[in-house]
Amino acid sequence: MAHFDRPHVTQPTLLLAPMEGLLDFVLRDILTRVGGVDRCVSEFIRVTGTLYPERVFLRYVPELLQGGKTASGVPVRPQLLGSDEVCLADNAARLAAMGAEGIDLNFGCPSPVVNRHRGGSALLEEPELLYRIV
């Protein structure tokens, strides 16, 4: 029987996805201490025409005080939700200055309340706006 080398297979990355009202700092800390999680995303931070002060971001993502990582060293990316591309960019820049390795943009939330305010998956119906946001 001939021996064939298999192509290099990498382990999949496991992301701990956000869930409003459930996956907060405490649960991220517990689950990343258990292990197996490669990256976390915070609950969404709704951006509506305001450049938030750092204290607002620290309320959602206190891991920013620890280099953007949980106590066990797992990176946490803040998630922004909104439709004002300039305001989203300003808030993303502030988060980057605070040490966030990356920013997650919410384009998938199906909640009618979120969609009614042009956020989440409602943006998928406005590809030009979605492009400008990114």
Residues belonging to the active site: 109
Dist. CA 90–CA 82, nearest whole Å: 12
Q: Are 47 and 88 in contact (CB under 8 A)?
A: yes
Question: Taken in order 13, 16, 78, 86, is the CA torsion positive or negative?
Answer: positive
Beta pairing partners, 41: 77
